[in-house]
Amino acid sequence: MDLVSKVFDERGFVEKIGGMIPGFGGYFNRNKRRDADKLLRDYIARQVDEQRGRLASLTVQLTSTPGGLKHLELAERATMKMQVFMDKMRTASYGYAGWFDAVKVDEQDLEAIYNYDTSLLEGVGRVANEVTALENAVATGEGIPIILNNLIRETDDLNRAFAKRQDLILATH
């Protein structure tokens, strides 16, 4: 789903009139891209939160299986890394600074940031695949530490990718 198009299509009367004033339309376009960026980041955070919830259920299952307690440290580390990522996504810069802020991001840069955020969805998919693999491993009792380490690695990758997003914002100036 292209959130930028959806947000642009839902413009109100005042925004449409403002679009007729030279220079004013660009301001609205930046705000709409900002809104789309926020919607996308919230969606990504919810997807990771869903995986964190699945992992929490699996962690409870591990505590009730023979030998499962030895995997709790890895499971908790993966949970914490997911939480850090979700917090960053929910509180991140919109990719647009207001008129009077020191850092300005133009519309083209906003498009690049939005596209970068979209690419984060691929990483979320890899995290979901690892959680699914962990469900299977918990059911069989085999390969749990390997999969938990893979999950930690994928979550670390997400956190690194998000840090690069911030670098992209700063590099545009």
What's the pLDDT tens digit per position in 140-152?
Answer: 989 999 999 999 9
Task: Give how far the C-alpha of residue 65 lies from the chain's centroid of Cα atoms, to the nearest Å.
Answer: 32
**The two three-digit tokens of residue 158, written as one number:** 């997400």
Cα separation, 144 vs 133, whole angstroms = 9
> Which candidate, 168, 53, 51, 67, places its Cα nearest to that of 108?
168
Cα separation, 107 vs 123, whole angstroms = 25
Q: How would residue 172 be classed by pLDDT, with cut points 50, 70 and 90?
A: low
Residue-level pLDDT at 121: 87
105 or 44: whose pLDDT is higher? 44
**What single-letter amino acid sits at 30?**
R
Residue-level pLDDT at 29: 59
- pLDDT 10s digits, 22-59: 443 444 456 666 777 778 888 889 999 999 999 999 99
Cα separation, 126 vs 135, whole angstroms = 14
**The two three-digit tokens of residue 80, written as one number:** 């914490």
Say if CB 96 and CB 69 are below 8 A apart. no
Using the predicted structure, report yes or no on whether residue 17 has a pLDDT greater than 50. Answer: no
* Block residue for tokens 């299509």: 9
Using the predicted structure, report yes or no on whether residue 109 has a pLDDT greater than 60. Answer: yes
Which residues have C-beta within 8 Å of that of residue 30, sequence separation ≥ 6? 96, 105, 106, 107, 110
pTM of this prediction? 0.73
**What single-letter amino acid sits at 51?**
Q
